[in-house]
């Protein structure tokens, strides 16, 4: 084991969780993952996924793990509510949206709740965040609320209503409707992308 390879691998690991295939572009043999794991510098967190033993772990660590293993997925619904600070509940799984034709992810850990979408319902309202050095696709607050209504049979109508209330609590200058109006417009656009505006509208009108 050369010092230069070890240093390069540790530097790479500081940017976030590692997959074995990430080493190819850096010219580092995969055997170094096992060697550094045996030395106690890296730990295997899932099949083919490693991280520094002393890496900081946030409450969103599981989202970074999923984004690394399933980069085409979008964090959504209850997990997105957590990121946006719109719920005090910690989801029992990572909720993601994938394309209707995409292969079903097979992760040992963390547990996944997988829903499928296509077209505007899949592509509208996507944000990009960096979590523990990993780029994560995430539904926007407005799209997250709309999705909760679209998939209310999965998350429950009460969860959808609470998400709507939390979103509306974020409105500013509600009396003039300036900032608040733009946020409501964003929610309406997201609901139309999800084709559930007629479902959402009466609840929205009752609360605004």
Alpha carbons within 13 angstroms on the beta-carbon side of residue 35 total 13
- The answer on 185 and 152 residing in a single domain is yes
CATH for 43: 1.10.10
| pLDDT confidence band for 79 (50 / 70 / 90) | very high
- The answer on 129 and 34 residing in a single domain is no
Q: What is the pLDDT of residue 186?
A: 94
- The answer on 48 and 65 residing in a single domain is no
Average pLDDT, the chain: 86
Global confidence as pTM: 0.75
Q: What is the pLDDT of residue 176?
A: 45
- The answer on 169 and 99 residing in a single domain is yes
Residue 138 and residue 69: Cα distance in Å, rounded? 15
- The answer on 93 and 40 residing in a single domain is no
Q: Are strands 94-99 and 112-117 parallel, antiparallel or unpaired?
A: parallel
Token pair of 42, please?
């890296």
Q: What is the pLDDT of residue 174?
A: 46
- The answer on 116 and 14 residing in a single domain is no
- The answer on 80 and 19 residing in a single domain is no
The better pLDDT of the pair 90, 93 is held by 93
The better pLDDT of the pair 183, 178 is held by 183
- The answer on 107 and 143 residing in a single domain is yes
**In this predicted model, what pLDDT tens digit does every residue of 47-64 receive, in sequence order?**
777 878 877 667 788 899
| pLDDT confidence band for 181 (50 / 70 / 90) | low
Q: What is the pLDDT of residue 11?
A: 81
- The answer on 190 and 159 residing in a single domain is yes
Q: What is the pLDDT of residue 178?
A: 47
Number of domains in the chain: 2
Residue 159's domain spans which residues? 61-207
The better pLDDT of the pair 82, 133 is held by 82
- The answer on 21 and 40 residing in a single domain is yes
* 3-state SS record for the chain: CCHHHHHHHHHHHCCCCEEHHHHHHHCCCCHHHHHHHHCCCEEEEECCEEEECCCCCCCCHHHHHHHHHCCCCEECHHHHHHHCCCCCCCCCCEEEEEECCCCCCCCCCCCEEEEEECCHHHHCCEEEEEECCEEEEEECHHHHHHHHHHCHHHHCHHHHHHHHHHHHHCCCCCCCCHHHHHHHHHHHHHHHHCCCHHHHHHHHHHHC
- The answer on 8 and 94 residing in a single domain is no
Q: What is the pLDDT of residue 1?
A: 55
Q: What is the pLDDT of residue 173?
A: 45
**In this predicted model, what pLDDT tens digit does every residue of 116-162 receive, in sequence order?**
999 999 999 999 999 888 899 999 999 999 999 999 999 999 999 99
| pLDDT confidence band for 172 (50 / 70 / 90) | low
Mean pLDDT is lowest, of 89-98, 133-142, 167-176, 187-196, for 167-176
- The answer on 130 and 46 residing in a single domain is no
| pLDDT confidence band for 5 (50 / 70 / 90) | confident
Task: Give the residue-averaged pLDDT of 90-118.
Answer: 91
């Amino acid at each position: 084991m050369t010092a230069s390879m070890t240093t390069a691998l540790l530097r790479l690991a500081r940017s976030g969780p590692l997959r074995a295939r990430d080493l190819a572009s850096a010219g580092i043999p995969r055997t170094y993952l096992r060697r550094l794991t045996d030395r106690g510098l890296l730990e295997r967190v899932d099949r083919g996924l490693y991280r520094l033993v002393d890496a900081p772990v946030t409450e969103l660590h599981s989202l970074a793990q999923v984004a690394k293993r399933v980069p085409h997925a979008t964090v959504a619904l209850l997990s997105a509510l957590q990121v946006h600070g719109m719920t005090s509940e910690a989801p029992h799984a990572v909720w993601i949206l994938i394309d209707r034709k995409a292969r079903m992810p097979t992760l040992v850990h963390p547990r996944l709740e997988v829903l499928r979408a296509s077209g505007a319902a899949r592509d509208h309202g996507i944000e990009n965040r960096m979590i523990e050095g990993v780029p994560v696709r995430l539904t926007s607050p407005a799209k997250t609320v709309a999705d909760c209504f679209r998939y209310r049979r999965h998350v429950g109508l009460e969860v959808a209503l609470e998400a709507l209330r939390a979103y509306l609590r974020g409105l500013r200058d509600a009396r003039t409707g300036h900032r608040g109006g733009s946020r409501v417009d964003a929610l309406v656009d997201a609901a139309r992308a999800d084709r559930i505006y007629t479902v959402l509208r009466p609840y929205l009108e009752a609360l605004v």
